[in-house]
Amino acid sequence: MSTSLSAIAGVANRTAAADAANSVIRFIWGPPPEGFYQLLLIIDSYWAAAIASVGRSELVR
């Protein structure tokens, strides 16, 4: 249970950091192009899946 809570907290921390970075980027360069956030979500989900699969394989050992 604690791992799921820490995962939720990690997502919340990443979201807060992403919001702060987005506000700075938007202030300097203006709004991002269409589809930018969807691309970030796809990249993030691939990384999460890769990290989870590595963690599972380490647990099997």
Q: How far is CA 57 from CA 4, 44, 52, 54, in A?
A: 19, 20, 9, 5
- pLDDT confidence of 19, banded at 50, 70, 90? confident
- pLDDT for 39-48, tens place per residue? 888 888 888 8
pTM comes to 0.35
Q: Please state the rounded mean pLDDT for residues 7-28.
A: 72
Up-side HSE of residue 39: CA atoms within 13 Å toward CB? 5
